[in-house]
Amino acid sequence: MKGSLIVVGFFALGCLLGWGGWLPDVILENDITVYVLYLLMFQVGLSIGSDKKLKEILGSIRPKLLLIPFATIAGTLVFSALASLLLTQWSVFDCLAVGSGFAYYSLSSILITQLKEPSWGIRLATELGTIALMANIMREIMALLATPLFVRYFGRLSPICAGGATTMDTTLPIITRYSGKDLVFISIFHGIIVDFTVPFFVSFFCSL
């Protein structure tokens, strides 16, 4: 939760600096977000590839384990599509792009803004990127705070699905505490799979 608040704080600071015209012209005139996105994608690859448990996880994959990240992805996309019925400004594909962040707020928000800017312009693209940032931060916070309730009313696997891509890092301790240590492996595997799908789903729905 602390990490999420820090991200929001930096985002708010960036908005204030941009709005106040206090940023150097070299940043404003050059598409620096492209390079930030490249760096972020490189970091994702490093974090997954350098995980010492990755070999063990890949070697222990069973078909049934795939059902958990599949349930997370399918459930998220279905409810994201349903949310579009309540919104007039955003299409079903826009809502699906936002939902496809799966709580990976830093990557999904930048990616959506970058992909939508050529066709929409910076204002609308940034607006949807901001929605993606807040929606996915709220998902992570909800997973952190409501895990005990999820376990009580929906079962031990429910916090894993709720945590999305964060179950391999930020929400893993709380999931381990309330769902049990025997689900640590499943939580990490789930996080890696869902994390890996984020750039593909976001890019796909932004192209529609």
Distances in whole angstroms, Cα of residue 181 to Cα of each of 150, 185, 186:
16, 8, 10
Each residue's pLDDT tens digit in the chain (208 positions)? 565 566 667 767 777 776 766 666 545 555 666 676 567 657 656 766 676 666 666 666 677 778 999 999 999 999 999 999 998 889 999 999 999 999 998 889 989 999 999 999 989 999 999 999 999 989 988 998 899 999 999 999 999 999 999 998 888 888 888 998 878 888 888 998 999 999 999 999 999 9
CA 6 to chain centre: 16
Q: What is the pLDDT of residue 181?
A: 80
- Residue 170 to residue 104: CA distance in whole angstroms: 11
Which amino acid, residue 31? D
Nearest to 97 by CA among 68, 118, 76: 76
CA 164 remoteness from chain centre: 7
Q: What is the pLDDT of residue 144?
A: 87
- Residues 6+ away with beta carbon under 8 Å from 135: 98, 99, 101, 105
Comparing CA positions, the residue from 195, 194, 167, 164 lying closest to residue 183 is 167
Report whether 69 contacts 190 (CB < 8 A): yes
Q: How many of the other CB atoms lie within 10 Å of CB of 189?
A: 25
- What is the model's pLDDT at position 206? 95
DSSP single-letter state for residue 207: T
